[in-house]
Amino acid sequence: MNKLLWLVLLWVFITLSSHATTPISSNDLFRNPETFSMKLNPEGSFIMSYGQGKNDNFFELIDPKSQQSFLLLSLPFHDDFRLVEYQWVDNQTVYIALKDRVGFLHLDLSGETPTGKYTAITAKGYLVSALPEQNDKVLFANNIGKSKTEYVLVNVTTKQLEQNTLEDSEILDLTLDGALHYFYDEVNDVFLAFTVKGDKFTYWLLKSHTSEWEAFWAIDKTIDFTPVGLLSENTLAVLTNQDQDLVTLREFDIKTQKLGKVLFKHAMYDLTDADLEPMGGGVKSVNYIDHGIPTTHYFANDEKQQKRNLAYTFDNQQLAVVSTNLDSSKKIVLVLNSDNPGKYYLFDNIANKAQIIKEKSPHLEPYELAKSTTLTIKVENNVNVEAMLTKPASEGNGVLLVYPHGGPIGVRDYATYDPKVQYLTSRGYSVLTVNFRGSVGFGKQFLDSGKAQFGQLIEQDISTVVNAVKKQHNFTNTCSIGSSYGGYSAVMLAIKHPDEYQCVVAMYGVYDLPLLFSASNYEAREVNRKRVIEIVGELDDSLKKVSPFYIAQQLHAPILLIAGDKDEIAYIEHTNRMKYRLKQFDKDFEVIVYKNVAHGHYYWSGDRHQFAYIDDFIKRKLNLSEITKEGSKAALANDAIVIADGYNFDKLLPQDLPKAFDFYRKAAALGESRALFNIGSFYHQGRVVEKDMEQAITWYEKSSTAGYASASYRLGYLYQKGEHVVKDVNIAYKKFILAAEQKKNYALAEIQLTRSICLGEGTTTNVESCFARLFYTDQHDKYIDGLDEDVYDAWQETLSHVVLRNSFTVADKAKLNAYVKLKLELNVFDIYAAEEWVGFHLKPSQRKSPGSYAEEATIIPLDKSIRFGVTLSFDTENILERKYNKRSMIMYKWILPESIKYENELASQIVGLNKDVFINLTLSEDYEHVEGEWTLQVYNLDEKLLYEKTFETVAKASK
């Protein structure tokens, strides 16, 4: 072969088999932003920001002039502290509503550093309006009913609400008899309310300059219906799930009392709130909960001059005004784009200047994100379809992913930042999204033309766009991928165009269209059948022709089906049926069914696993090479370990240890430190592979060298105990020091270092440091009873060793005992032990159940996981008036058989008088299955022997 030709072919091969894209870690893409929202105070002098830190959510005050921020209030990660809303009441007061508590955050600006004090409201009711134009006044619905809910509207100060002293407040003559909730449209000065009678909600409207409430809608209790405000004189915007699964934003005609067009519908989530422009200006924003995060989607602002100013300032970026001060002279603008997760700016309308305040997701700043290109493709005469093509920021892998959106009616794709798209493009894929007919935002005719077009006009639009894109760009392979309707569409595209698609990923999809009419009692109701007919088409044999379940034999591309076992939109039965049919036709398929997951993941960890597995599936099926660019290893290793964890921990997926082990090995090959440790654990425990402690320790050493603190700790623990290695407290001490250095505030490692310092193991005994560390006397924010369970167990074990094995002076021993009594709140010390029971259980459970039993004996048959010991009660010779709150401490030692080269086991326990205590030993390790004597010794705090019992283990006679 010609040498030049060979070099050319080699260059082509390298180009096709590798690419220069640097993958972005899924930990950075699939996570909450640092800043959720920002709001200007009425005069525009300060900004309140709500964000998330490592350990909590928080409110901070931002001073634009000094560009400083001040933490005001932290909220722990707990459902009780979930934020519902917050808003400025005046320039120094913020209303904050959490799930189970409501109150005001008062700012103190008198000192050098602003501070905040949160005070809960004691008055019963809820905030209707913050009335920003009235200083320290709010509109509050006060519950005055004693045995029932009965509200009156009051104009009241925050102090009156906090102290529940509303006698002097201004009562507004606007009460609607029986109203259960009031809404106030501040922009248009309109009140809305609802009443309940029987199973019916009735909605009422009170327009400005009128005194009569007007009933405009009655609806069944089971239907969500929340008025938002006036779009025009006779048209309301409402949030409702009437005739559909999800709560969407729709028009409602007050005169005809009919619902109109859908203004916004999310593909996966119910809308929780919406905000309107002044009457005639349309919708400003909608809210929903995305992965547990209150999320706002903003629409374009209609103020022309402002738009020109902002567009000039932020060229080629998408803009959303998220907050405005009272006189509209200042605005907070969120600037974002497909390659920009969002940056907050303070825009001064008068000076026409913008000042950056904060990035929404600063952790993404080091990465080069991919930018979407918007395309307009003619699909028919006078019909154009919009699409977005997002290619890798640098050279890709030659694969086009066609990604239809869900819905399909009333939903659309946006050219905005999307972590899923960025994940895929950063791994070399090009992603194509299409706003096919039926998508919202292109007019009613465009939307209606997509109805009853499953597998027909919609897929025709997508295919036309795909063909147009392929004429402009070269791709080696094409795969379809989608969720919900997109999952259905992904399968249909591959069925209709078998030569075009080399793989399919279908997530949470519907595959049997007739099943949509009868999947549950809810779907079988007439009103819902009508809704399905409108979107899908009439129930007849024609639906089978466009149902993947019935035409699965026509699918030739390998397919990955992903579903949630709790999905009530695309029921799991769709995936089960498709799986059955694919197996029947011997197709190449894989299935993942996530546990306790509905129509998509609620937690980011699920998305990380899902997309890591998708990437792995596509690479395997298309035989793509791994990314080898400098800096890619960490992200790829993280993908592998995320997949492994999913199969290892039995939370997301049923446990599959062989798969977990394979992916841990893949991550370990890329240098992932925890994967190295987990492989060691598999050898240590004999899971998947034969138990091999030499291999286990080798892997632990690799993990420790790679910087994984738990591996260093595990090695230290093994050397400390002499378990499977020659005991060496010097090596153990060094490993514990290394673990503490590798992981800040590593409590377990610090406790083992405390033991070393107290007992002189690997270092010199230091009594003063021993007591300070053991009882946290130099750490006022730590309490023994506040330690996590595993940390407390380690602390208690260390305490037992220190009490029973120390070489302290008499004075230091007395001081140690005094600390123990004080810190553990002990009040009885001179105790005795009484034996209640001696014997063994065949299973590690005290409950007697079929297949397990307890027997009184001191001769113990060697059996897997057998547990033996004694039940003791403790009392004192002294006469005590009450015993129920008397606490003492015992320490006990198990002296092991001589044949086991292992340290005797020491432990301690707080006991109550006259309460039975079961002290036992479980033979869980293989090396413990030896014949010999096992002696239990029980001591009090003064090391007085209270009880002793010897057991003998004997091999079971063979049958």
| 893-912 burial code (b ≥16 CB/10 A, e <16) | bbebeeeeebeebbbbeebb
Do 937 and 910 meet the contact criterion of CB atoms below 8 Å apart?
no
Average pLDDT in the chain: 86
pLDDT in tens, 909-946: 888 887 899 999 888 777 788 899 999 999 998 889 99
Higher pLDDT among residues 69 and 170, named by residue:
69
Reply yes or no on whether the pLDDT at 747 is more than 80: yes
> What does the pLDDT read at residue 196?
84
Reply yes or no on whether the pLDDT at 630 is more than 70: yes
The angle formed by the CA atoms of residues 677, 680 and 683, to the nearest 5 degrees, is: 155
Reply yes or no on whether the pLDDT at 658 is more than 70: yes
- Residue 921: which of 852, 838, 847 has the closest Cα? 838
| Measured distance between the N- and C-terminal CA atoms of the chain, rounded to whole angstroms | 74
Displacement of CA 763 from its chain's centroid (Å): 43
Structure tokens at 509: 């999809």
> What does the pLDDT read at residue 862?
87
> What does the pLDDT read at residue 881?
66
pLDDT in tens, 871-895: 999 998 877 766 677 889 898 999 9
> What does the pLDDT read at residue 959?
46
pLDDT in tens, 10-67: 334 434 444 567 899 999 999 999 999 999 999 999 999 999 988 889 999 999 998 8
> What does the pLDDT read at residue 540?
81
Distance separating alpha carbons of residues 634 and 636, to the nearest angstrom: 6
Higher pLDDT among residues 166 and 852, named by residue:
166
Distance separating alpha carbons of residues 349 and 329, to the nearest angstrom: 5
Q: How many CA atoms lie within 13 A of 931 on its CB side?
A: 4
Neighbours of 265 (CB within 10 A): 23
Reply yes or no on whether the pLDDT at 702 is more than 90: yes
Distance separating alpha carbons of residues 898 and 348, to the nearest angstrom: 82
Most confident of the following: 296-310, 754-768, 943-957? 754-768
Q: Where are the beta strands (DSSP E) in 29-173?
A: 35-40, 47-52, 56-63, 68-76, 83-90, 93-98, 102-108, 115-120, 125-129, 137-143, 151-157, 170-171
pLDDT in tens, 249-266: 999 888 888 888 888 887
Interval 611-628 mean pLDDT: 93
Give the rounded percent of residues in the chain with a pLDDT score beyond 90.
Answer: 48
pLDDT in tens, 351-393: 888 899 999 999 999 999 999 988 989 999 888 898 999 999 8
Structure tokens at 694: 């030499």
Distance separating alpha carbons of residues 439 and 456, to the nearest angstrom: 15
The structure tokens 């606007």 sit at 174
Q: Looking at 274-288, 400-414, 516-530, which range is the least confident one?
A: 516-530
Structure tokens at 598: 């509905």
pTM: 0.82
The structure tokens 């209640």 sit at 836
Give the rounded percent of residues in the chain with a pLDDT score beyond 70.
Answer: 91
Distance separating alpha carbons of residues 181 and 151, to the nearest angstrom: 8
